[in-house]
Structure 1
């Protein structure tokens, strides 16, 4: 089991934990299936009225898809089978508010989950980055989600700079990606405190507000996300070439913080 749920039914709050810290909470296909099942189950649990999403351990919230995951792809250049595209709470019809609590690294495919969260609380020592371009992959879904939260130039820099630099939690807060900074190790308690407040309100009003917010974002995403598979299919290097970059490339200025 790589997704665990800690439910405080008296408070009306569930903490969903990506629970594979040895792999930096990377997502294999089984974990994606588990996560989808969690979101869909939470729709029917009336004792839970708000959700916190986080990663186990201190090193990472989530580092995207596990590089060892086998993801068969269709032969057509117009289609990409992306297992992460439908793993978020909104993609699974969950309209209870979801607050992301980011500890350590959040990168790559983690932005699918952050993009479908209402807001983000981060440890002061958390970092954000998008490694796609460094390893010959198009950052499409990730940038489309991030562009809903951050100024264009900030999204462009994060996506294009790849592994050459990491965005500090402070910078993410200044540019709108993060809504609250917490002392190291305190992001989850801070997010739970927000969730307890939301859970104390009439749930239909809260869920209706979440749906209204998402409807505004969805209007733009509905135009952009369908373009992502084509961009990825056309722009990604072949898997063997990507793997060569993963094993052989180490940028000299990797991990520079800004």
Structure 2
């Protein structure tokens, strides 16, 4: 059963990539990670697609990161950590066509791998953003690096350090630059499609060159930060069993930060 849906609107040149595990809040398991990589690589060869919209199925979540039931064996060395989410984004798979993310509901933790590799984010008022890593004894490394490219330092530091105690509303996310537009409820996908259709109507070489230039502007710093992430995670993460205990004992969602 596919966990990623791909639809192509031939008239507009826009593809819609949908994370399709609503029963698991669109959490990424190993199957979905592999499918996402294959989808992005396939879109490199489809010249009928000139822009992409990325969204999640259902109303509760865009994506809640890695599925906690996913078994990811790790080498013992802190220099050789395996992270299946490093391969789920379009840029990681060499796709330089513009990607617009449409967010409804929760976007947290590993969702930032996808948002971080999108050109911009459109959200409806139900969208909330947070990173629970520190709450459960895990280092927020790659997520922090990617969001540091999107938000002022103090804002991303607060999000990552406050963990699950605080969720950023769509309006606050817009105020700090993570989100480019907040729509009416249920309108994020339509708004993202409108933007993507405009971009897809322009000469693709110019658009893709611009995407590549934008990415190059922050590529060197991100690569240096990513190089430190495996050791930081290996040194800072609690043992897996203790993480699971903290997760099992989690309380209700934290406060919403509206402003």
> Residues 45-56 of structure 1 correspond to what in structure 2 (within 5 A)?
45-56=46-57
Deviations 1:123-171 (A, max 9, x none): 1121000000000000000000000010001001000000001000000
Q: In structure 2, how many angstroms separate the alpha carbons of the residues matched to 1:132 and 1:105?
A: 15
Q: In structure 2, how many angstroms separate the alpha carbons of the residues matched to 1:13 and 1:77?
A: 41
User: Secondary structure at the residue paired with 2:87?
Assistant: coil
The gaps in structure 2 that reach 5 residues or longer are none
Shift of 1:13: 0.2
Q: In structure 2, how many angstroms separate the alpha carbons of the residues matched to 1:246 and 1:222?
A: 31
Shift of 1:77: 2.5
CA RMSD of aligned residues (A): 0.8
Q: TM-score, normalised by structure 2?
A: 0.97
Is the 8 Å Cα contact of residues 79 and 233 (structure 1) preserved in structure 2?
no
Shift of 1:223: 1.2
Between the two proteins, the alignment pairs up a number of residues equal to 256
Could you list the structure 1 runs, at least 4 aligned residues long, displaced by more than 3 angstroms after superposition: none
Q: In structure 2, how many angstroms separate the alpha carbons of the residues matched to 1:250 and 1:101?
A: 28
Deviations 1:26-48 (A, max 9, x none): 00000000000000000000000
User: Secondary structure at the residue paired with 1:14?
Assistant: strand
The aligned residue for residue 71 of structure 1 is: 72
Q: In structure 1, how many angstroms separate the alpha carbons of the residues matched to 2:211 and 2:228?
A: 25
Q: In structure 1, how many angstroms separate the alpha carbons of the residues matched to 2:171 and 2:50?
A: 29
> Residues 85-96 of structure 1 correspond to what in structure 2 (within 5 A)?
85-96=86-97
The gaps in structure 1 that reach 5 residues or longer are none
The aligned residue for residue 237 of structure 2 is: 236
Q: TM-score, normalised by structure 1?
A: 0.98
Is the 8 Å Cα contact of residues 108 and 130 (structure 1) preserved in structure 2?
yes
The aligned residue for residue 198 of structure 1 is: 199
Q: In structure 1, how many angstroms separate the alpha carbons of the residues matched to 2:53 and 2:170?
A: 18
